Amino acid sequence: ALVLLLCALRAGGTELTFELPDSDKQCFHQELERGLKFTLDYQVVITGGHYDVDCYVEDPNGRMIYKETKKQYDSFPHRTEVKGVYTFCFSNEFSTFSHKTVYFDFQVGDEPPILPDMSNRVTALTQMESACVTIHEALNTVIDSQTHYRLREAQDRSRAEDLNGRVSYWSVGETLILFVVSIGQVMLLKSFFTEKRPGSGGAGT
Amino acid sequence: LALYFHSGEREEKCIIEDVPSDTLVIGNYKVQRWDIHKQDFLESAPGLGMFVTVTTPSAEVLLSKLYGPQGTFSFTSYLSGEHVICLQSNSTRFVSFAGSKLRIHLDIRVGEHFLDESVVQAKDKVNEVNFRLEHLIEQIQHISKEQNYEREREEKFRKTSEETNSNILWWAVVQTLILISIGIWQIKSLRDFFISKKLV
């Protein structure tokens, strides 16, 4: 029972998916206490260009505690040392034509345990309660995995659809080029051997 | 309400939620307006409201309502896919002068698997565990729905990949045939041309 109590369960937090237009920056803020552990996970989901985004996290004193450029996904855990408003921003300022869809998950602290007086208990949890706690934790892990897979699948599917489109366009284009070039070659050759002046014979090679 | 972000007065901010069908999505928000004189965000701005618009994956509008400076909205998706939740203030100021912005606190929950602590004040032991179990069952049902949705999307993904594969094969064959026939046509045409010009 003690082991279960000490496990850090999945926290209260926010997960959002939003579109980041090109050359734009979007910031989010959260007020946090001191000594709290938070984790920021983010991932670029769908994009018109490269799958990357700049991200930085600032503490209430304006100090940059995390800064990464052109990352596709990352996870940043941190224990707060100062109480105040923490800011994290996603920037697409380096890109001029591709807007991006960014997913982030900001988990804060340790979740209140599923049984509220778990920490104050003197007696051990009943088997039923222990089972509930275990299942709850496992389900939270499942939900996290699902989100991760959902994002990966969205990314891959978007790439596959792009590929399909590109293959179709390029094939049609190439066929047209093929026709134009081959008919053009024949016309051009014929024109070399066609005299414009009447009366002269055909030119030699 | 924990997380917040800033937005221009008349700017529309949108959040994308990719949810399976028959899923309840609940959002609550609080909006504050920047006050030039106090150089701070007002706790409550009278008359300030937010238009909340929810669009389904098929571009239909599911929800479009005006709420006050603080509110809760919810909707149940009947299609699975990307729903877009947009927030825009009803501010009628046409010119957003410098320094005018909004602070929007937002919290969106998908699926009903969050605990409502107030209901669990029951002293009865059996009921408490019963309640916990019901909550767990809801969580499992939500997971199951998400998995079905995932299966649908993977199928679409697989179809796209197979279509790309057969496209490539088909076009390669077609282009090879065109290449060969054009080559033959070229040689024939030129040969006839040279014969007619008495060069050969």
pLDDT over 50 (residue B10) = yes
Q: Is B198 helix (H, G, I), strand (E, B) or coil?
A: coil
CB of A169 less than 8 A from some CB of B: no
Residues in chain A within 8 Å Cβ distance of B107: 14
Closest among B90, B80, B82, B99 to B37, alpha carbons compared: B99
Nearby residues of B43 by Cβ (< 8 Å), 6 or more positions away: B32
- Number of helices (H) and strands (E), helices first, in chain A? 2, 8
CB of A152 less than 8 A from some CB of B: no
Q: Is there a contact between A48 and A97 (Cβ–Cβ < 8 Å)?
A: yes
CB of A150 less than 8 A from some CB of B: yes
Closest among A53, A68, A56 to A21, alpha carbons compared: A53
Q: Which residue of B has its CA nearest to A145?
A: B143
Asked if B15 lies within 8 A of A129 by C-beta distance, the reply is no
How many angstroms separate the CA atoms of A182 and A191, rounded? 14
Residues in chain A within 8 Å Cβ distance of B186: 182, 185-186
For residue A42, give both structure tokens: 């983010």
Q: Which residue of A has its CA nearest to B197?
A: A202
Q: Which residue of B has its CA nearest to A165?
A: B164
Nearby residues of B62 by Cβ (< 8 Å), 6 or more positions away: B54, B55, B56, B75, B77, B83
Residues in chain B within 8 Å Cβ distance of A153: 150, 153-154, 157
Q: Right CATH number for A13-110 from 3.90.420.10, 2.30.29.30, 2.60.120.680, 2.30.30.280?
A: 2.60.120.680
User: Mutation test of the interface with chain A: which of B1, B13, B15, B18, choosing the one with the most A Cβ atoms within 10 A?
Assistant: B18
Region B85-109 average pLDDT: 75
Q: Is there a contact between B146 and A149 (Cβ–Cβ < 8 Å)?
A: no
Chains A–B, number of C-beta pairs less than 8 Å apart = 132
Asked if B117 lies within 8 A of A116 by C-beta distance, the reply is yes
Q: Is there a contact between B85 and B52 (Cβ–Cβ < 8 Å)?
A: yes
Q: Is B177 helix (H, G, I), strand (E, B) or coil?
A: helix
Region A72-96 average pLDDT: 85
Confidence of residue A204 (pLDDT cuts 50, 70, 90): very low
pLDDT over 70 (residue A174) = yes
Got the DSSP string for A141-158? HHHHHHHHHHHHHHHHHH
pLDDT over 80 (residue A157) = yes
Region A160-189 average pLDDT: 89
| CA count, 13 A, side-chain hemisphere, B112 | 14
Residues in chain B within 8 Å Cβ distance of A176: none
pLDDT over 60 (residue B95) = no
> What is the pLDDT, as a whole number, of residue A76?
87
How many angstroms separate the CA atoms of B23 and B83, rounded? 11
> What is the pLDDT, as a whole number, of residue A193?
80
Task: Write the pLDDT tens digit of every residue in B100-114.
Answer: 778 888 888 887 655
Region A156-185 average pLDDT: 89
For residue A10, give both structure tokens: 């999945």
The single-letter DSSP state of residue B97 is -
Asked if A175 lies within 8 A of B147 by C-beta distance, the reply is no
The single-letter DSSP state of residue A202 is -
Task: Write the pLDDT tens digit of every residue in A28-57.
Answer: 988 888 888 888 888 888 766 677 888 999
pLDDT over 50 (residue A4) = no
Region A64-93 average pLDDT: 87
> What is the pLDDT, as a whole number, of residue A122?
53
Region B158-186 average pLDDT: 90
- Number of helices (H) and strands (E), helices first, in chain B? 1, 9
Residues in chain B within 8 Å Cβ distance of A193: 193-194, 197, 199
User: Of B98 and A132, which is predicted with more confidence?
Assistant: A132
Confidence of residue B117 (pLDDT cuts 50, 70, 90): low
Ranges of each domain in chain B? 2-112
The average confidence (pLDDT) of chain B is: 82
Q: Right CATH number for B2-112 from 3.40.50.1370, 2.40.290.10, 2.60.120.680, 3.20.20.140?
A: 2.60.120.680
> What is the pLDDT, as a whole number, of residue B114?
57
pLDDT over 50 (residue A182) = yes
For residue B199, give both structure tokens: 């060069």
CB of A24 less than 8 A from some CB of B: no
Asked if A14 lies within 8 A of B3 by C-beta distance, the reply is yes
For residue B39, give both structure tokens: 């150089």
> What is the pLDDT, as a whole number, of residue A161?
86
Asked if B15 lies within 8 A of A16 by C-beta distance, the reply is yes
Confidence of residue A9 (pLDDT cuts 50, 70, 90): very low
pLDDT over 80 (residue A94) = no
Both ends of chain A: CA-CA distance in Å?
Answer: 97
Q: Is there a contact between B69 and B50 (Cβ–Cβ < 8 Å)?
A: yes
> What is the pLDDT, as a whole number, of residue B194?
86
The 10 Å Cβ neighbour count of residue A121 is 12
User: Of B49 and B121, which is predicted with more confidence?
Assistant: B49
H runs (alpha helix) in chain B:
125-196
Got the DSSP string for A40-99? EEEEEEEESS-S-EEEEEE-TTS-EEEEEEEESEEEEEEE--S-EEEEEEEE-TT-SS--
Q: Is there a contact between B84 and B59 (Cβ–Cβ < 8 Å)?
A: no
Q: Give the alpha-carbon dihedral of B155, B156, B158, B164, to 10 degrees.
A: 160
CB of A66 less than 8 A from some CB of B: no
Q: Is A29 helix (H, G, I), strand (E, B) or coil?
A: strand
Closest among A186, A62, A23 to B185, alpha carbons compared: A186
Task: Write the pLDDT tens digit of every residue in A126-156.
Answer: 777 778 778 888 888 888 888 888 888 888 8
How many angstroms separate the CA atoms of A8 and A117, rounded? 16
The average confidence (pLDDT) of chain A is: 78
CB of A171 less than 8 A from some CB of B: yes
